[in-house]
Structure 1
Amino acid sequence: MAIFILVPLVMVLFFAFTSRDGGFTFDNILGIGKYAHVFLKSINLSVVATLICLILAFPISYMMSRMSEVAQRTMLMLLMLPMWMSFLLRTYAWMTLLEKEGLINKFLGLFGMGPFNMINTQGAVVLGMVYNFLPFMIMPLHSIMVKIDKSVIEAAQDLGASSFHVLLRVLIPLSLPGIITGITMVFVPSVSTFIISRMLGGGKHLLIGDLIEQQFLGSVYNPNVGSAMSLILMVIILIIMGIINHFDDEEMEGMLV
């Protein structure tokens, strides 16, 4: 923990509050204001991707949890299979699919549709996030739902609860720990990603991860500003996660009452 967590954090703090000549300064932090629109765009796209992952993962996880153990293991293996390939390779594959001469536009062309401009858009960036991070939402949800006894759902139905009320009053509250974990595991990498936005966004939709990467590896090399951006991003993530966990605690207290 000291080597891989504390030391890097101390280095980030040191560079964030020092100038290039090593003197103490707040200029790096105060100068982040001009990148506020990039922070907002990063958070906005990450929230959209996280919500889509949750909407997709919830029914998938529930259906998987009701399968036999052999079927569940098979489905989990199929879910993890794309993760065995390179993250970069998977994103390149989507570039091939979404470009104007790509497979999707060629398929739509058979029906006299298109070609559509799908690459280098915000939608393509969100799609890349959803595709790459969806398993991180499904796995914690499945691990929680598989522990929900079928008799609990049957009891709710016997007491006259409709499918909607079973979902709202039984499944969602019991799955809340998995939902919180899934949101955390999807939102954090989404808000800090830079490969997806660069490849599927074509450099037109820079996210905060791209700006940080440019400060450390680009021609504008400035680790002090990059560290300040990283620090602000960490604070934003901690605040958002704290809010989510606060609602989680309130929900758990309500269930106990």
Structure 2
Amino acid sequence: MATRVTSFIRKYSDVLLALPAVLWLLIFFIMPLIIVAVISMMTRDVNGIAQFPLTFDNYERVFQVYDSVLIRSVRIAFVATIICLVVGYPLAFFIKTRQNAWVRNLGLFLVILPFWTNFLVRTYAWRVLLGPEGTINTFLMNTGILNQPLEILYTETGVMLGLVYGFLPFMVLPIYASVERFDFKYVEAARDLGSNDWQTFWRVVLPLTMPGVIAGCILVFIPAIGAYVTPDLLGGTRGLMIGNLIQRQYNGNTPNLPVGAALSMVMMGAVMISLLVYARFAGRTR
């Protein structure tokens, strides 16, 4: 008996090792995703609860009624990702190229330092900074730069600033890892062959650090497009994003579970498209 058990374990060792992870994904990811997909095609009763029959009317409503929110969510997430890239790339390079190891470690420490504070608390701090009587407007008005406060809070600009602040480390760290693996002898070789700094960057440095750039963009864009706390606290109605819309469909005064599920599936589709783009570009850069 013991021999049979041992033989079975050896024969199917790979399957047995993968079984816990497969069961975990099946129970906590695949099955809930199927349930949400089914609910997204159901109809709504008078209490907002999902019921049969199945229909695609919810998706039609999502793209006809909430199209502006979907476009705004993609736009804000995209712009926030670009800003994080523009700020994060030179910052990662600056930290890595410091000769003193203590300075490099200090730079990385400052990048990850915000994670030591609760995200909600940090977002509330931005309300203090961006408000009409906040720190930024008070400084600008006291110095005579402005005569009236800037309208930043409860706008798309406020949401973008909050998202950039919250997700910038997710851009810096992957790029830093790529720069750390980069051999700077290629830069010397390019200069010996007559390339100027601009040509060296575009033809040598950027292509070889592109895996970190792509990974950073994905790590910023995916959570940014589904952000809930930041647009809720800093955006108000003018900065409403798909995450806030989903929350209102589930917990609002007039809940609509099927529409909320349809919005969730649409956001999941956007995330999957982002991952497919990442896989395609990551394969090219190897």
TM-score tier after normalising by the smaller chain length: over 0.9
Q: Which 5+ residue runs of structure 1 have no aligned equivalent? A: 253-257
TM-score by length of 1: 0.92
**Greater than 4 Å deviation, 4+ residue runs:** none
Task: After superposing the two structures, state which structure 1 stretch, 48-57 or 143-152, moved more.
Answer: 143-152
Q: Is the 8 A contact 1:17 1:228 kept in 2?
A: yes
Q: Which 5+ residue runs of structure 2 have no aligned equivalent? A: 1-24, 44-49
TM-score by length of 2: 0.83
* Inter-partner Cα distance in structure 1 for 2:236 and 2:242: 15
The residue that corresponds to 2:273 in the other structure is 239
The residue that corresponds to 1:255 in the other structure is none
The residue that corresponds to 1:61 in the other structure is 92
Q: Deviations over 1:172-202 (max 9, x none)?
A: 1011111111010000111111211121112
Candidates 41, 47, 53, aligned match of 1:17? 41
Q: Is the 8 A contact 1:137 1:186 kept in 2?
A: yes
Query: Residue 93 in 1 paired to residue 125 in 2?
Result: yes
| Paired residues for 1:73-84 under 5 Å | 73-84=105-116
| Paired residues for 1:170-189 under 5 Å | 170-189=204-223
Candidates 131, 137, 143, aligned match of 1:105? 137
| Paired residues for 1:148-227 under 5 Å | 148-227=182-261
Q: Is the 8 A contact 2:218 2:274 kept in 1?
A: no
Counterpart residue identity of residue 142, structure 2: L
Candidates 46, 49, 69, aligned match of 2:80? 49
CA RMSD of aligned residues (A): 1.6
* Inter-partner Cα distance in structure 2 for 1:76 and 1:247: 27
Deviation at 1:52, TM superposition (A): 0.5
* Inter-partner Cα distance in structure 1 for 2:122 and 2:136: 16
How many residues were matched structurally? Answer: 252
Q: Is the 8 A contact 2:211 2:285 kept in 1?
A: no
Name the larger-Rg structure.
Answer: 2
Q: Deviations over 1:120-167 (max 9, x none)?
A: 111111111100000000010001101111212121122221111111
* Inter-partner Cα distance in structure 2 for 1:202 and 1:239: 28
Deviation at 1:248, TM superposition (A): 4.3
Q: Is the 8 A contact 2:156 2:235 kept in 1?
A: yes
% identical aligned pairs: 35
The residue that corresponds to 1:7 in the other structure is 31
